[in-house]
């Protein structure tokens, strides 16, 4: 009878994957196209799930239209089995909204990440 090694029997703790580790540092269209490919979702199928046109979705993927508003990103994300915050642009907007509520942080963030390059 074969012996199980400690490594083989040890259960690893589930890792928390950051949004960036999910490939979401990529632009919206690139990240969406990759997810559609991974899940085998066509433009038509995604259109049916979201109520958006297949043509519009194609334009989003190829960067011919601006990144949609956050509620639309949320709808698309749900339809492809992702969280909206997996998309970089969604997170950028959320950070911007949070900063708008805390003006005392704006100068600090600006100095730290823009001027401090």
Q: Report pLDDT digits (tens) over 12-60.
A: 443 444 444 444 689 999 999 999 999 999 999 999 999 999 999 999 9
pLDDT above 90: residue 8: no
Residue 36: which CATH number?
A: 1.10.260.40
Tell me what pLDDT residue 67 has: 97
Q: For 3-12, 32-41, 88-97, 103-112, which range has the lowest pLDDT when averaged over its residues?
A: 3-12
pTM, to two decimals: 0.74
Tell me what pLDDT residue 5 has: 47
110 within domain boundaries:
yes
Tell me what pLDDT residue 116 has: 81
29 within domain boundaries:
yes
User: How many Å apart are CA 72 and CA 12, to the nearest integer?
Assistant: 37
74 within domain boundaries:
yes
Which range marks the domain in which residue 65 is found? 24-115
């Amino acid at each position: 009878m074969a012996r199980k090694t400690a490594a083989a029997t040890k259960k690893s703790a589930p890792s928390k994957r950051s949004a960036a580790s999910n490939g979401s540092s990529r632009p919206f269209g690139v990240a969406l196209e990759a997810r559609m490919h991974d899940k085998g979702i066509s433009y038509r199928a995604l259109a049916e799930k979201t109520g958006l046109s297949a043509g519009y979705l194609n334009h989003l993927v190829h960067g011919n239209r601006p990144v949609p508003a956050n509620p639309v990103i949320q709808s698309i994300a749900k339809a492809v089995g992702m969280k909206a915050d997996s998309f970089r642009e969604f997170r950028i907007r959320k950070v911007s909204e949070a900063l708008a509520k805390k003006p005392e942080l704006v100068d600090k963030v600006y100095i730290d990440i823009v001027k401090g390059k």
